Amino acid sequence: AQSVTQLDSHVSVSEGTPVLLRCNYSSSYSPSLFWYVQHPNKGLQLLLKYTSAATLVKGINGFEAEFKKSETSFHLTKPSAHMSDAAEYFCVVSGANDMRFGAGTRLTVKP
Partner 1 sequence: GAVVSQHPSRVICKSGTSVKIECRSLDFQATTMFWYRQFPKQSLMLMATSNEGSKATYEQGVEKDKFLINHASLTLSTLTVASAHPEDSSFYICSARWSGPGDTQYFGPGTRLTVL
Binding stretches for partner 1 (CB under 8 A): 32, 34, 36, 42-46, 49, 51, 90, 94, 97-104
Shortest separation between residue 82's beta carbon and partner 1, angstroms: 22
- Closest CB to partner 1 among 64 and 101? 101
Write the Ramachandran bin of 72: left for phi over 0, alpha for psi from -120 to 50, otherwise beta: left
Nearer to partner 1 (CB atom), residue 34 or residue 67: 34
Considering the complex, state which of residue 42 and residue 79 has its C-beta at the smaller distance from partner 1.
42
- Shortest separation between residue 99's beta carbon and partner 1, angstroms: 6
Report how far residue 94's alpha carbon sits from residue 30's, in angstroms, rounded to the nearest whole number.
10
Least distance (Å) between residue 73 CB and partner 1: 19
Residue partners of 91: CB distance under 8 A and separation at least 6: 4, 6, 21, 23, 25, 33, 34, 35, 74, 76, 101, 102, 105
